[in-house]
Amino acid sequence: MVPPLLTTHNDNQKGKNVTKVKKIMKILLAVAIITFILLLAIYINHKIHLNKEQKLLVPISTMVEIDGHNMSVYIEGSGEKTLVFMSGGGTCSPILDFKSLYSLLSNKYRIVVVEKFGYGFSDVVDKKRGIESILADTRAALKAAGIEAPYVLCPHSMSGIEALYWAQQYPEEVLAIIGLDMVVPKSYQDYNINMPMLKLSQFASAVGITRLLPGVSDSDAITNGTLSNKEKEIYKAVFYNRTATITMLNEVKSIKENARKVESDHIPQVPMLLFVSNGEGTGWDKETWRSYQREYIANIANSKMIELDCPHYIHDFEYQVISEKIVEFLSYNTRL
């Protein structure tokens, strides 16, 4: 038989535990409700702004149809050589991102900026982003826009993999590669891709949380480039529509495998001019970052590397110097 006092003590303790659990549940429920209301308010605010920004999202490029979806191709200037600018991963507005640089070149060359699916004014498409598919889309977009090969490829960052693959598979289409702090296959050997963080960025963008972060839409093109006030407005509108899209995330998921495919093939023997940053914004320290490009072009006869003391988006910082060196390279290279 259990002593009466002990029974009473146990019952009181159980009652306190139940009360404590109920209080915790009420607190958690209150937090959940407040969080939901807050996110709903943020999302409504986001949708209101998106609706207002629609007038800024009228394409400033030619739209072509690829596999039933629209791709954006920007064309400016004229000349015997065609420079195709290829954006880095996650660059929401390639056309405006490169503008400070190509505006200094369009009086001598035909400038083309292909905005891949998920970028700029192109459609967001949930499709696999193997290197074969990415390049097929780019080549099809150029053909649909009436831009014929050969091309001088100007890739920034992650697009370096696509440019090298292009030169491997279709060397007759590539006159030269001008790397704007572009990656080479070895860059991704030990690269750690934080997909959970990218997924979180995608959620924050979709809900509109990014609008609450001061200066988050002020890209290097906006703060350091030569964009007009109107172009800055357009860039920001594109940013809130094309940040961490599903297409971009699919690209990131495939990049290491894409890099392995390029590395397993031959090093393309096309003239290369590589502009390389100080590593800031790449995830690598300066010497490691520069060593990747230096080692790669050591096996290319007609190549040159120019080191710049600026962050990763070099074309938004040193556009004057880069434009002059490009003209010099294309003017005096005998193959071109």
Among 49-53, 147-151, 192-196, 305-309, the least confident range = 192-196
User: Can you tell me the distance from the alpha carbon of 81 to that of 83, in angstroms, rounded to the nearest whole number?
Assistant: 7
- For 76-92, the three-class secondary structure string (H helix, E strand, C coil) is ECCCCCEEEEECCCCCC
* Predicted pLDDT of residue 14: 62
> 122-146: per-residue pLDDT in tens?
999 999 999 999 999 999 999 999 9
The pTM of this model reads 0.88
> 161-189: per-residue pLDDT in tens?
999 999 999 999 999 999 999 999 999 88
Residue 150 confidence class, pLDDT cut points 50, 70, 90: very high
> 87-131: per-residue pLDDT in tens?
999 899 999 999 999 999 999 999 999 999 999 999 999 999 999
pLDDT above 70 covers what percent of the chain? 94
Q: Are 139 and 66 in contact (CB under 8 A)?
A: no
Q: How many CB atoms lie within 10 A of CB 35?
A: 10
Residue 8 has pLDDT above 60, yes or no: no
Strand partners, 154: 85
User: Can you tell me the distance from the alpha carbon of 213 to that of 209, in angstroms, rounded to the nearest whole number?
Assistant: 7
